[in-house]
Structure 1
Amino acid sequence: MASFLRVIMASLTFTVITLSGISCQSDFDFFYFVQQWPGSYCDLKQKCCYPVTGKPAADFSIHGLWPNYNDGSYPSNCAGSSYDSTGISDLKDQLQRYWDTLSCPSGDGDKFWSHEWEKHGTCSGLDQRAYFESVLRLRNSIDLLSALQSSGIEADGGTYTLEAIEKALTQAIGHKPGLECNRDVDGQRQLYQVYVCIDTDASTLIDCPVYPSSSCSSTISFPSF
Protein backbone atom coordinates (compact mmCIF):
# COMPACT_ATOMS: atom_id res chain seq x y z
CA MET A 1 0.00 0.00 0.00
CA ALA A 2 2.79 2.40 0.91
CA SER A 3 4.56 1.66 -2.38
CA PHE A 4 1.33 2.27 -4.28
CA LEU A 5 0.86 5.65 -2.58
CA ARG A 6 4.43 6.66 -3.38
CA VAL A 7 3.82 5.88 -7.06
CA ILE A 8 0.60 7.91 -7.06
CA MET A 9 2.30 10.88 -5.34
CA ALA A 10 5.22 10.76 -7.75
CA SER A 11 2.80 10.71 -10.68
CA LEU A 12 0.88 13.68 -9.30
CA THR A 13 4.10 15.60 -8.71
CA PHE A 14 5.20 14.99 -12.29
CA THR A 15 1.80 16.09 -13.58
CA VAL A 16 1.90 19.32 -11.57
CA ILE A 17 5.40 20.11 -12.78
CA THR A 18 4.44 19.38 -16.39
CA LEU A 19 1.28 21.48 -16.25
CA SER A 20 3.19 24.27 -14.57
CA GLY A 21 5.63 24.32 -17.47
CA ILE A 22 2.80 24.46 -20.02
CA SER A 23 1.07 27.25 -18.10
CA CYS A 24 4.24 29.29 -17.85
CA GLN A 25 4.76 29.09 -21.60
CA SER A 26 1.26 30.19 -22.60
CA ASP A 27 -0.37 31.91 -19.62
CA PHE A 28 0.27 35.60 -20.22
CA ASP A 29 -1.77 38.56 -21.45
CA PHE A 30 0.32 40.44 -24.00
CA PHE A 31 3.85 41.12 -25.24
CA TYR A 32 6.06 44.17 -24.94
CA PHE A 33 8.07 44.59 -28.13
CA VAL A 34 11.01 46.72 -27.01
CA GLN A 35 13.42 48.69 -29.16
CA GLN A 36 16.31 50.78 -27.81
CA TRP A 37 18.20 53.79 -29.11
CA PRO A 38 21.95 52.97 -29.29
CA GLY A 39 22.99 56.56 -28.68
CA SER A 40 21.31 56.48 -25.28
CA TYR A 41 22.78 53.10 -24.44
CA CYS A 42 26.31 54.26 -25.23
CA ASP A 43 26.03 57.77 -23.77
CA LEU A 44 26.44 56.52 -20.22
CA LYS A 45 29.29 56.34 -17.74
CA GLN A 46 29.85 52.63 -18.36
CA LYS A 47 30.07 53.26 -22.14
CA CYS A 48 29.46 50.48 -24.64
CA CYS A 49 31.30 48.20 -27.04
CA TYR A 50 30.47 47.88 -30.71
CA PRO A 51 29.79 44.34 -31.91
CA VAL A 52 32.46 42.41 -33.81
CA THR A 53 30.68 43.35 -37.04
CA GLY A 54 31.45 47.03 -36.43
CA LYS A 55 29.48 50.09 -35.42
CA PRO A 56 25.74 49.48 -35.86
CA ALA A 57 23.54 51.72 -37.96
CA ALA A 58 22.17 54.85 -36.31
CA ASP A 59 18.73 53.31 -35.85
CA PHE A 60 16.61 51.74 -33.16
CA SER A 61 17.60 48.15 -32.43
CA ILE A 62 15.68 45.28 -30.89
CA HIS A 63 15.92 44.63 -27.19
CA GLY A 64 13.35 41.86 -27.05
CA LEU A 65 9.82 40.50 -27.18
CA TRP A 66 8.63 40.02 -23.60
CA PRO A 67 5.49 38.21 -22.40
CA ASN A 68 3.68 40.21 -19.70
CA TYR A 69 0.65 40.10 -17.43
CA ASN A 70 -1.96 42.84 -17.17
CA ASP A 71 -0.91 43.55 -13.57
CA GLY A 72 2.57 44.58 -14.69
CA SER A 73 4.37 41.39 -13.69
CA TYR A 74 5.81 38.91 -16.17
CA PRO A 75 6.85 35.27 -16.49
CA SER A 76 10.48 34.43 -17.07
CA ASN A 77 12.81 31.48 -17.59
CA CYS A 78 10.00 29.05 -18.34
CA ALA A 79 10.40 25.37 -19.06
CA GLY A 80 11.42 24.92 -22.67
CA SER A 81 14.18 24.05 -25.05
CA SER A 82 17.66 25.46 -24.56
CA TYR A 83 18.96 28.02 -26.99
CA ASP A 84 20.29 26.46 -30.20
CA SER A 85 22.12 28.89 -32.47
CA THR A 86 22.13 26.40 -35.35
CA GLY A 87 18.34 26.61 -35.54
CA ILE A 88 18.48 30.29 -36.54
CA SER A 89 21.83 30.38 -38.34
CA ASP A 90 20.18 31.56 -41.56
CA LEU A 91 18.70 34.52 -39.66
CA LYS A 92 22.04 35.66 -38.27
CA ASP A 93 22.62 38.46 -40.79
CA GLN A 94 19.21 39.97 -40.01
CA LEU A 95 19.71 39.51 -36.28
CA GLN A 96 23.08 41.23 -36.37
CA ARG A 97 21.56 44.10 -38.33
CA TYR A 98 18.44 44.65 -36.24
CA TRP A 99 19.25 42.94 -32.89
CA ASP A 100 22.87 43.85 -32.31
CA THR A 101 24.69 43.83 -28.99
CA LEU A 102 26.40 46.85 -27.46
CA SER A 103 27.51 45.23 -24.21
CA CYS A 104 31.16 44.76 -23.36
CA PRO A 105 33.25 42.89 -24.30
CA SER A 106 32.38 42.94 -28.00
CA GLY A 107 30.41 39.97 -29.26
CA ASP A 108 28.55 38.66 -32.28
CA GLY A 109 25.12 38.87 -30.61
CA ASP A 110 24.74 35.19 -29.84
CA LYS A 111 25.02 35.64 -26.06
CA PHE A 112 22.38 38.39 -26.17
CA TRP A 113 19.96 36.31 -28.25
CA SER A 114 20.48 33.31 -25.99
CA HIS A 115 19.62 35.42 -22.93
CA GLU A 116 16.48 36.83 -24.53
CA TRP A 117 15.28 33.40 -25.65
CA GLU A 118 15.87 31.71 -22.32
CA LYS A 119 14.44 34.52 -20.16
CA HIS A 120 11.53 35.63 -22.36
CA GLY A 121 11.19 33.41 -25.42
CA THR A 122 10.64 30.24 -23.42
CA CYS A 123 7.52 31.87 -21.94
CA SER A 124 6.13 33.05 -25.29
CA GLY A 125 4.29 29.90 -26.37
CA LEU A 126 6.46 29.89 -29.50
CA ASP A 127 9.29 27.61 -30.46
CA GLN A 128 12.70 29.23 -30.86
CA ARG A 129 12.49 29.63 -34.62
CA ALA A 130 9.02 31.19 -34.53
CA TYR A 131 10.05 33.51 -31.72
CA PHE A 132 12.98 35.03 -33.58
CA GLU A 133 11.07 35.23 -36.86
CA SER A 134 8.22 37.03 -35.10
CA VAL A 135 10.60 39.55 -33.58
CA LEU A 136 12.21 40.30 -36.94
CA ARG A 137 8.80 40.75 -38.60
CA LEU A 138 7.79 43.21 -35.91
CA ARG A 139 11.02 45.16 -36.32
CA ASN A 140 10.50 45.37 -40.07
CA SER A 141 6.96 46.70 -39.62
CA ILE A 142 7.64 49.21 -36.82
CA ASP A 143 10.08 51.87 -38.00
CA LEU A 144 10.43 54.18 -35.03
CA LEU A 145 13.16 56.41 -36.42
CA SER A 146 11.25 57.21 -39.61
CA ALA A 147 8.17 58.00 -37.53
CA LEU A 148 10.11 60.50 -35.43
CA GLN A 149 11.91 62.04 -38.38
CA SER A 150 8.62 62.54 -40.20
CA SER A 151 7.60 64.80 -37.33
CA GLY A 152 10.85 66.74 -37.34
CA ILE A 153 12.37 64.86 -34.41
CA GLU A 154 16.00 64.08 -35.19
CA ALA A 155 18.68 62.21 -33.29
CA ASP A 156 20.89 65.28 -33.15
CA GLY A 157 21.26 65.82 -29.44
CA GLY A 158 18.39 68.27 -29.42
CA THR A 159 15.68 68.49 -26.77
CA TYR A 160 12.07 67.63 -27.54
CA THR A 161 8.90 67.46 -25.52
CA LEU A 162 7.78 64.06 -24.36
CA GLU A 163 4.33 64.91 -25.72
CA ALA A 164 5.70 65.52 -29.24
CA ILE A 165 7.59 62.22 -29.26
CA GLU A 166 4.58 60.28 -28.00
CA LYS A 167 2.33 61.94 -30.58
CA ALA A 168 4.67 61.17 -33.49
CA LEU A 169 5.00 57.52 -32.52
CA THR A 170 1.30 57.06 -31.76
CA GLN A 171 0.31 58.44 -35.16
CA ALA A 172 2.72 56.09 -36.95
CA ILE A 173 2.02 52.98 -34.89
CA GLY A 174 -1.70 53.44 -34.35
CA HIS A 175 -1.32 52.82 -30.61
CA LYS A 176 0.34 54.81 -27.85
CA PRO A 177 3.72 53.30 -26.96
CA GLY A 178 5.46 53.28 -23.61
CA LEU A 179 8.64 55.34 -23.37
CA GLU A 180 11.61 54.75 -21.10
CA CYS A 181 14.38 57.27 -20.48
CA ASN A 182 17.81 57.09 -18.92
CA ARG A 183 20.36 59.76 -18.02
CA ASP A 184 23.49 60.70 -19.94
CA VAL A 185 26.82 61.48 -18.30
CA ASP A 186 25.60 65.00 -17.52
CA GLY A 187 22.37 63.79 -15.92
CA GLN A 188 20.15 64.83 -18.84
CA ARG A 189 17.15 62.55 -19.38
CA GLN A 190 17.15 61.06 -22.86
CA LEU A 191 14.99 58.76 -24.96
CA TYR A 192 16.19 55.22 -24.37
CA GLN A 193 13.58 52.54 -25.08
CA VAL A 194 10.19 52.33 -26.79
CA TYR A 195 7.64 49.69 -25.75
CA VAL A 196 4.96 48.66 -28.26
CA CYS A 197 2.27 46.28 -27.05
CA ILE A 198 1.52 43.15 -29.07
CA ASP A 199 -1.27 40.61 -28.68
CA THR A 200 -0.46 37.02 -27.66
CA ASP A 201 -0.34 36.02 -31.33
CA ALA A 202 3.02 37.86 -31.46
CA SER A 203 1.91 39.93 -34.46
CA THR A 204 -1.14 42.13 -33.75
CA LEU A 205 -0.48 45.59 -32.31
CA ILE A 206 -2.79 46.53 -29.43
CA ASP A 207 -3.35 49.28 -26.88
CA CYS A 208 -1.11 48.67 -23.88
CA PRO A 209 -2.96 47.17 -20.90
CA VAL A 210 -0.27 48.62 -18.66
CA TYR A 211 2.73 50.84 -19.33
CA PRO A 212 6.26 50.41 -18.00
CA SER A 213 7.72 53.00 -15.67
CA SER A 214 8.95 55.69 -18.03
CA SER A 215 11.41 57.71 -15.90
CA CYS A 216 11.02 60.46 -18.53
CA SER A 217 10.56 64.16 -17.86
CA SER A 218 8.39 66.57 -19.84
CA THR A 219 11.36 67.41 -22.08
CA ILE A 220 14.00 64.88 -23.09
CA SER A 221 16.97 64.75 -25.43
CA PHE A 222 17.45 62.50 -28.43
CA PRO A 223 21.22 61.96 -28.65
CA SER A 224 23.13 61.28 -31.81
CA PHE A 225 24.91 57.98 -32.42
Structure 2
Amino acid sequence: MKKSTAIRELLFAAAGLLIGLISALTPASADQDRAGVFDFYVLSLSWSPTFCAGDDGERNGQQCGLDKHFRFVVHGLWPQYEKGSPDFCRTSEPERVPRGLGQTMFDIMPSMSLVGHEWRRHGSCSGLDQKAYFDTVRRAFEHVAIPADLARGDRPLSLSPNDIENKFIAANPGMTHQGIAASCGGQRLEEIRICMTKDLQFRDCAEVDRSGCRIGQITLPAAR
Protein backbone atom coordinates (compact mmCIF):
# COMPACT_ATOMS: atom_id res chain seq x y z
CA MET A 1 0.00 0.00 0.00
CA LYS A 2 2.76 2.36 0.98
CA LYS A 3 4.63 1.43 -2.20
CA SER A 4 1.65 2.19 -4.49
CA THR A 5 1.04 5.50 -2.70
CA ALA A 6 4.65 6.52 -3.23
CA ILE A 7 4.45 5.60 -6.91
CA ARG A 8 1.26 7.66 -7.36
CA GLU A 9 2.92 10.65 -5.67
CA LEU A 10 5.91 10.37 -7.98
CA LEU A 11 3.64 10.18 -11.03
CA PHE A 12 1.66 13.23 -9.91
CA ALA A 13 4.89 15.16 -9.31
CA ALA A 14 6.27 14.22 -12.73
CA ALA A 15 3.00 15.22 -14.41
CA GLY A 16 3.06 18.55 -12.62
CA LEU A 17 6.61 19.23 -13.75
CA LEU A 18 5.72 18.33 -17.36
CA ILE A 19 2.68 20.62 -17.36
CA GLY A 20 4.73 23.44 -15.89
CA LEU A 21 7.43 22.99 -18.49
CA ILE A 22 4.92 23.00 -21.37
CA SER A 23 3.22 26.10 -19.94
CA ALA A 24 6.54 27.91 -19.63
CA LEU A 25 7.59 27.12 -23.17
CA THR A 26 4.44 27.59 -25.23
CA PRO A 27 1.47 29.63 -24.08
CA ALA A 28 3.36 32.82 -23.22
CA SER A 29 4.97 33.13 -26.63
CA ALA A 30 1.77 32.11 -28.40
CA ASP A 31 -0.22 34.76 -26.51
CA GLN A 32 2.49 37.37 -26.88
CA ASP A 33 3.15 37.30 -30.59
CA ARG A 34 -0.29 38.05 -32.01
CA ALA A 35 -0.67 40.13 -35.15
CA GLY A 36 -1.64 43.71 -34.35
CA VAL A 37 -0.75 43.46 -30.65
CA PHE A 38 2.19 45.80 -30.03
CA ASP A 39 2.98 49.21 -28.52
CA PHE A 40 4.92 51.15 -31.16
CA TYR A 41 7.08 50.90 -34.27
CA VAL A 42 10.82 51.17 -34.81
CA LEU A 43 11.83 52.47 -38.23
CA SER A 44 15.27 51.08 -38.96
CA LEU A 45 17.26 53.01 -41.58
CA SER A 46 20.31 51.13 -42.81
CA TRP A 47 23.39 52.94 -44.13
CA SER A 48 23.69 50.97 -47.37
CA PRO A 49 27.45 51.55 -47.96
CA THR A 50 28.20 49.74 -44.67
CA PHE A 51 26.07 46.76 -45.71
CA CYS A 52 27.64 46.71 -49.17
CA ALA A 53 31.16 46.70 -47.70
CA GLY A 54 30.45 43.37 -45.97
CA ASP A 55 30.26 39.80 -47.25
CA ASP A 56 26.46 39.85 -47.56
CA GLY A 57 26.62 43.02 -49.62
CA GLU A 58 29.12 41.54 -52.05
CA ARG A 59 26.57 38.82 -52.85
CA ASN A 60 23.68 41.28 -53.27
CA GLY A 61 23.77 42.79 -56.74
CA GLN A 62 20.32 44.34 -56.37
CA GLN A 63 21.48 46.66 -53.61
CA CYS A 64 25.22 46.74 -54.06
CA GLY A 65 25.99 46.41 -57.77
CA LEU A 66 28.50 48.79 -59.34
CA ASP A 67 25.65 50.88 -60.72
CA LYS A 68 23.93 51.15 -57.30
CA HIS A 69 24.54 54.15 -55.05
CA PHE A 70 22.06 53.83 -52.20
CA ARG A 71 22.51 55.83 -48.99
CA PHE A 72 19.95 55.43 -46.18
CA VAL A 73 17.46 52.69 -47.03
CA VAL A 74 14.74 51.06 -44.98
CA HIS A 75 15.88 47.94 -43.20
CA GLY A 76 12.43 47.55 -41.71
CA LEU A 77 9.47 48.90 -39.77
CA TRP A 78 9.28 46.75 -36.66
CA PRO A 79 6.34 46.41 -34.27
CA GLN A 80 7.67 46.60 -30.70
CA TYR A 81 6.58 46.05 -27.12
CA GLU A 82 7.86 48.40 -24.44
CA LYS A 83 10.20 45.49 -23.68
CA GLY A 84 10.98 43.09 -26.47
CA SER A 85 9.27 42.62 -29.80
CA PRO A 86 7.00 40.16 -31.61
CA ASP A 87 8.08 38.33 -34.73
CA PHE A 88 6.79 35.78 -37.24
CA CYS A 89 3.15 36.28 -36.21
CA ARG A 90 0.33 34.18 -37.59
CA THR A 91 -1.67 36.01 -40.24
CA SER A 92 -4.15 35.18 -42.97
CA GLU A 93 -1.84 36.96 -45.43
CA PRO A 94 0.52 34.84 -47.59
CA GLU A 95 4.14 34.50 -46.49
CA ARG A 96 5.42 35.34 -49.96
CA VAL A 97 5.32 38.96 -51.13
CA PRO A 98 4.34 39.19 -54.82
CA ARG A 99 7.14 40.61 -56.93
CA GLY A 100 4.79 43.26 -58.30
CA LEU A 101 4.29 44.63 -54.78
CA GLY A 102 7.93 44.21 -53.77
CA GLN A 103 9.14 46.15 -56.79
CA THR A 104 7.18 49.21 -55.70
CA MET A 105 9.50 49.40 -52.66
CA PHE A 106 12.84 49.01 -54.44
CA ASP A 107 13.70 52.72 -54.23
CA ILE A 108 13.81 52.49 -50.42
CA MET A 109 14.06 48.69 -49.81
CA PRO A 110 16.32 47.65 -52.66
CA SER A 111 16.03 43.88 -52.83
CA MET A 112 13.26 41.32 -53.00
CA SER A 113 14.93 39.21 -50.32
CA LEU A 114 14.84 42.16 -47.90
CA VAL A 115 11.19 42.94 -48.69
CA GLY A 116 10.18 39.32 -48.21
CA HIS A 117 12.12 38.80 -44.99
CA GLU A 118 10.81 42.00 -43.42
CA TRP A 119 7.23 41.05 -44.19
CA ARG A 120 7.56 37.54 -42.74
CA ARG A 121 9.37 38.50 -39.57
CA HIS A 122 7.95 41.95 -38.78
CA GLY A 123 5.16 42.95 -41.14
CA SER A 124 3.17 39.84 -40.20
CA CYS A 125 2.93 41.26 -36.65
CA SER A 126 1.56 44.65 -37.72
CA GLY A 127 -2.03 43.47 -38.10
CA LEU A 128 -2.04 44.97 -41.62
CA ASP A 129 -2.31 43.28 -44.97
CA GLN A 130 0.80 43.29 -47.15
CA LYS A 131 -0.06 46.37 -49.19
CA ALA A 132 -1.15 48.39 -46.15
CA TYR A 133 2.03 47.41 -44.30
CA PHE A 134 4.34 48.50 -47.11
CA ASP A 135 2.33 51.69 -47.56
CA THR A 136 2.96 52.34 -43.86
CA VAL A 137 6.67 51.62 -44.31
CA ARG A 138 6.84 54.24 -47.05
CA ARG A 139 4.91 56.81 -45.02
CA ALA A 140 7.23 56.24 -42.05
CA PHE A 141 10.29 56.71 -44.26
CA GLU A 142 8.89 59.88 -45.81
CA HIS A 143 8.08 61.27 -42.36
CA VAL A 144 11.79 61.35 -41.47
CA ALA A 145 13.98 64.14 -42.81
CA ILE A 146 17.49 62.80 -43.53
CA PRO A 147 20.16 65.39 -42.64
CA ALA A 148 21.61 66.61 -45.92
CA ASP A 149 25.27 66.30 -44.95
CA LEU A 150 24.77 62.67 -43.90
CA ALA A 151 22.73 61.77 -46.97
CA ARG A 152 25.28 62.91 -49.58
CA GLY A 153 27.59 59.95 -49.18
CA ASP A 154 30.23 61.49 -51.46
CA ARG A 155 33.02 60.98 -48.92
CA PRO A 156 33.55 59.04 -45.68
CA LEU A 157 32.43 60.80 -42.50
CA SER A 158 33.64 60.14 -38.97
CA LEU A 159 31.32 61.31 -36.20
CA SER A 160 30.28 60.34 -32.70
CA PRO A 161 26.96 58.50 -32.32
CA ASN A 162 25.71 61.52 -30.37
CA ASP A 163 26.62 63.87 -33.25
CA ILE A 164 24.70 61.70 -35.72
CA GLU A 165 21.66 61.57 -33.47
CA ASN A 166 21.83 65.36 -32.95
CA LYS A 167 21.71 65.91 -36.71
CA PHE A 168 18.56 63.82 -37.02
CA ILE A 169 16.98 65.54 -34.02
CA ALA A 170 17.73 68.99 -35.47
CA ALA A 171 16.12 68.01 -38.79
CA ASN A 172 13.02 66.42 -37.23
CA PRO A 173 10.92 68.46 -34.78
CA GLY A 174 9.52 66.26 -32.02
CA MET A 175 12.35 63.72 -32.12
CA THR A 176 14.39 63.39 -28.91
CA HIS A 177 17.55 61.61 -27.81
CA GLN A 178 15.36 59.07 -26.02
CA GLY A 179 13.63 58.14 -29.28
CA ILE A 180 16.58 57.45 -31.60
CA ALA A 181 19.61 55.18 -31.53
CA ALA A 182 22.62 54.92 -33.83
CA SER A 183 23.67 51.29 -34.23
CA CYS A 184 27.20 50.35 -35.26
CA GLY A 185 29.04 47.31 -36.53
CA GLY A 186 32.67 47.57 -35.49
CA GLN A 187 33.67 51.15 -36.28
CA ARG A 188 30.99 51.72 -38.95
CA LEU A 189 27.45 53.05 -38.78
CA GLU A 190 25.00 50.26 -39.50
CA GLU A 191 21.60 51.75 -38.77
CA ILE A 192 19.58 54.59 -37.34
CA ARG A 193 16.61 53.31 -35.32
CA ILE A 194 13.76 55.75 -34.79
CA CYS A 195 10.79 55.08 -32.54
CA MET A 196 7.31 55.99 -33.76
CA THR A 197 3.76 55.66 -32.52
CA LYS A 198 1.27 53.58 -34.47
CA ASP A 199 0.25 56.77 -36.30
CA LEU A 200 3.93 57.44 -37.09
CA GLN A 201 4.65 60.29 -34.69
CA PHE A 202 8.04 60.39 -32.96
CA ARG A 203 8.11 58.99 -29.44
CA ASP A 204 10.61 57.95 -26.78
CA CYS A 205 11.58 54.29 -26.26
CA ALA A 206 13.97 53.53 -23.42
CA GLU A 207 14.91 49.99 -24.47
CA VAL A 208 15.81 50.98 -28.04
CA ASP A 209 17.71 54.04 -26.84
CA ARG A 210 19.84 51.90 -24.50
CA SER A 211 20.81 49.60 -27.38
CA GLY A 212 22.61 52.36 -29.30
CA CYS A 213 26.30 52.42 -30.15
CA ARG A 214 28.58 53.60 -27.30
CA ILE A 215 31.98 53.94 -28.97
CA GLY A 216 33.53 57.37 -29.42
CA GLN A 217 33.61 57.68 -33.22
CA ILE A 218 31.93 55.79 -36.05
CA THR A 219 32.45 56.05 -39.79
CA LEU A 220 29.89 56.40 -42.55
CA PRO A 221 31.64 54.81 -45.56
CA ALA A 222 31.18 56.67 -48.83
CA ALA A 223 28.68 55.42 -51.36
CA ARG A 224 30.28 53.69 -54.35
Normalising TM by the smaller chain, what interval?
A: 0.7 to 0.9
CA distance in 1, matches of 2:97, 2:203: 31
Aligned-residue CA RMSD in angstroms?
Answer: 2.7
Aligned to 1:182: 185
CA distance in 2, matches of 1:31, 1:52: 24
> Do residues 96 (structure 1) and 106 (structure 2) align?
yes
Aligned to 2:70: 58
> Tell me, what secondary structure is at the counterpart of 1:196?
strand
1:53-202 alignment, distance < 5 Å = 54=65, 55-71=67-83, 73-80=84-91, 81-86=93-98, 89=100, 92-93=103-104, 95-101=105-111, 109=112, 111-146=113-148, 148=150, 156-173=155-172, 174-175=174-175, 176=177, 177-183=180-186, 189-201=187-199
Aligned to 1:35: 45
> Tell me, what secondary structure is at the counterpart of 2:208?
coil
Displacement of 1:132 after TM fit? 0.3
Give the counterpart letter for 1:144 in structure 2. Answer: I
Structure 1 contact 21–79 (Cα < 8 Å) conserved: no
Give the counterpart letter for 1:180 in structure 2. Answer: S
Displacement of 1:141 after TM fit? 2.5
CA displacement 1:57-84 (0-9 Å, x = unmatched)? 332011001111112x111111112235
Flag the 1:216–1:30 CA change in 2: closer, same or farther, 3 A. same
TM-score normalised according to structure 2 size = 0.72
Aligned residue pairs, count: 187
> Tell me, what secondary structure is at the counterpart of 1:96?
coil
Q: Which runs of 5+ in 1 are unaligned?
A: 1-16, 102-108, 184-188
CA displacement 1:83-134 (0-9 Å, x = unmatched)? 3534x725624x1111013xxxxxxx1x321211111111112111110001
Tell me which structure has the larger Cα radius of gyration.
2
CA distance in 2, matches of 1:204, 1:223: 30
Displacement of 1:166 after TM fit? 1.4
Displacement of 1:21 after TM fit? 7.2
> Tell me, what secondary structure is at the counterpart of 1:211?
helix
Aligned to 1:218: 216
> Tell me, what secondary structure is at the counterpart of 2:215?
coil
CA distance in 1, matches of 2:71, 2:106: 13
CA displacement 1:127-173 (0-9 Å, x = unmatched)? 11110001011222223252636xxx966223212222111111112
Structure 2 contact 32–86 (Cα < 8 Å) conserved: no
CA distance in 2, matches of 1:125, 1:133: 13
CA distance in 2, matches of 1:158, 1:200: 33
Give the counterpart letter for 2:53 in structure 1. Answer: D
Q: Which runs of 5+ in 2 are unaligned?
A: 1-26
CA distance in 1, matches of 2:64, 2:150: 27
CA distance in 2, matches of 1:79, 1:199: 22
